[in-house]
Amino acid sequence: MILSIISDTTIRYIGGNFMKCSVKVTVVSIGEPCSAGLKVGDSFIVRDKGCMVLENVEEICPELLNSVFPACMAYAAGGTLPWENDKGEATIACPDPHSKVVVKLERI
């Protein structure tokens, strides 16, 4: 997989159109203030427009993006995760042990 940054909010996946759906990522809980400034309710969308586009976000924490990226790609390609709830949603935690940001992923 090859990724290239083409603007502040767009990451291009070079290699074909693989996304069957878009994925919404929403912050559902935070233990301590997040160093990236995330707050409960903040969200962004991973959408395919010939490239992978992050919508509704001006900045993104690289630790969080690194944590959610594999699950977003699985969802976008039509896959599932073993820990999904009955609505087909999954939660993922940021690796920062202090902020303890948890996000919900859902197909849209």
Q: What is the pTM of this model?
A: 0.79
3-state SS class at 55: strand
Query: Mean pLDDT, the chain, as a whole number?
Result: 81
pLDDT at 17: 58
What confidence score (pLDDT) does residue 31 get? 92
Asked if 98 contacts 65 with a C-beta cutoff of 8 angstroms, the reply is no
Q: Which helix (H) or strand (E) holds 6?
A: strand 2-7
> Where are the domains positioned within the chain?
2-107
Q: What is the pLDDT of residue 62?
A: 87
